Structure 1
Amino acid sequence: MSDPQPPAALWGDERYGGACVVLADDAPLGMAGGGEAPSGGLSSPSLPEGLAAAALAVTHERLRRGRWVSRVRVTDDRTAREAVAHLRADGHAAVLGPTDETHAVGWQNRNRAVQVGEKLAVCFPWADADAPMVVEIDPGEAFGAGTHPSTRLLASWIAEHISGGERVLDVGCGSGVLALVAARLGAAEALGIDIEPAAVSATEANARRNGLDAAASCGGAPVGEAELGTFDVVFANITAGVLVPLAGDIAERVAPGGRLAISGISAGQTSSVVAAYRRHGIELAAPVRLDDWVSLSGRNAPSNLS
Structure 2
Amino acid sequence: MSDWRVLRVAVPAAQAEVIEQVMEDNGALAVTMTDAEDHPLFEPPPGARPLWPRVQIEAIFGQDEDDDLTRAACQNALAGHLGDAAPTLVSQNLADQDWTRLWMDAFKPMRFGQRLWIVPSWHECPAPNDVNLRLDPGLAFGTGTHPTTALCLAWLDGQTEWPGRVLDFGCGSGVLALAALALGSQFADGTDIDPQALTATLDNAERNGLSERIAVHMAEGFSAAPYDLVMANILSGPLVELADTLLSHLNVGGQLVLSGLLEDQAKTVMAAYRCVTFDAPAVIDGWCRLSGRRTH
Q: TM-score range by the shorter chain?
A: 0.5 to 0.7
Within the candidate set 277, 281, 284, 1:283 is matched to: 277
Within the candidate set 249, 255, 261, 1:253 is matched to: 249
Which blocks of at least 5 consecutive residues in structure 1 are unaligned?
Answer: 4-75, 82-95, 99-105
Q: Is the Cα contact below 8 Å between 1:120 and 1:133 reproduced in 2?
A: yes
Quote the residue 1:193 is aligned against. Answer: 191
Quote the residue 1:211 is aligned against. Answer: 209
Within the candidate set 170, 186, 208, 1:172 is matched to: 170
Query: Offset at 1:166?
Result: 1.6
Q: Aligned partners of 2:111 and 2:43: how far apart in 1? A: 22
Q: 1:272 to 1:165 in 2, by over 3 A?
A: closer
Mapping of residues 227-242 of structure 1, within 5 Å: 228-242=224-238
Which blocks of at least 5 consecutive residues in structure 2 are unaligned?
Answer: 1-41, 45-95
Query: Offset at 1:150?
Result: 0.4
Query: Offset at 1:158?
Result: 1.1
Q: Deviations over 1:37-64 (max 9, x none)?
A: xxxxxxxxxxxxxxxxxxxxxxxxxxxx
Mapping of residues 1-306 of structure 1, within 5 Å: 1-2=42-43, 96-98=100-102, 108=105, 110-131=106-127, 132-161=130-159, 163-164=161-162, 166-222=164-220, 225-226=222-223, 228-278=224-274, 281-301=275-295, 304=296
Query: Offset at 1:219?
Result: 1.5
Provide the secondary structure at the position in 2 that maps to 1:178.
Answer: helix
Root-mean-square deviation (CA), in Å?
A: 2.1
Q: Deviations over 1:190-228 (max 9, x none)?
A: 111111011000000000000011112222133x633x1
Percent of pairs identical after alignment? 39
Provide the secondary structure at the position in 1 that maps to 2:283.
Answer: strand
Q: Which moved more, 1:212-221 or 1:181-190?
A: 212-221
- Choose 1 or 2 for highest CA Rg: 2
Query: Offset at 1:177?
Result: 0.5
Q: Aligned partners of 2:181 and 2:273: how far apart in 1? A: 26
Q: Aligned partners of 2:137 and 2:248: how far apart in 1? A: 29
Q: Is the Cα contact below 8 Å between 2:163 and 2:229 reproduced in 1?
A: no
Q: Is the Cα contact below 8 Å between 2:115 and 2:131 reproduced in 1?
A: yes
Quote the residue 1:11 is aligned against. Answer: none
Query: Offset at 1:128?
Result: 3.3
Provide the secondary structure at the position in 2 that maps to 1:169.
Answer: strand
What TM-score do you get using the length of structure 2 for normalisation?
Answer: 0.64
Q: Is the Cα contact below 8 Å between 1:191 and 1:218 reproduced in 2?
A: yes
Q: Deviations over 1:82-113 (max 9, x none)?
A: xxxxxxxxxxxxxx213xxxxxxx853x2111
Q: Aligned partners of 1:150 and 1:128: how far apart in 2? A: 25
Provide the secondary structure at the position in 2 that maps to 1:161.
Answer: coil
Provide the secondary structure at the position in 2 that maps to 1:208.
Answer: helix
Q: Aligned partners of 2:235 and 2:163: how far apart in 1? A: 29
Q: Is the Cα contact below 8 Å between 1:138 and 1:202 reproduced in 2?
A: no
Provide the secondary structure at the position in 2 that maps to 1:125.
Answer: coil
Q: Is the Cα contact below 8 Å between 1:123 and 1:145 reproduced in 2?
A: no
Provide the secondary structure at the position in 2 that maps to 1:174.
Answer: coil
Provide the secondary structure at the position in 1 that maps to 2:171.
Answer: coil
Q: Is the Cα contact below 8 Å between 1:117 and 1:156 reproduced in 2?
A: yes
Q: Aligned partners of 1:162 and 1:195: how far apart in 2? A: 31
What TM-score do you get using the length of structure 1 for normalisation?
Answer: 0.62
Q: Aligned partners of 2:183 and 2:241: how far apart in 1? A: 31
Q: Aligned partners of 1:124 and 1:165: how far apart in 2? A: 27
For 1:293, give the aligned amino acid: W
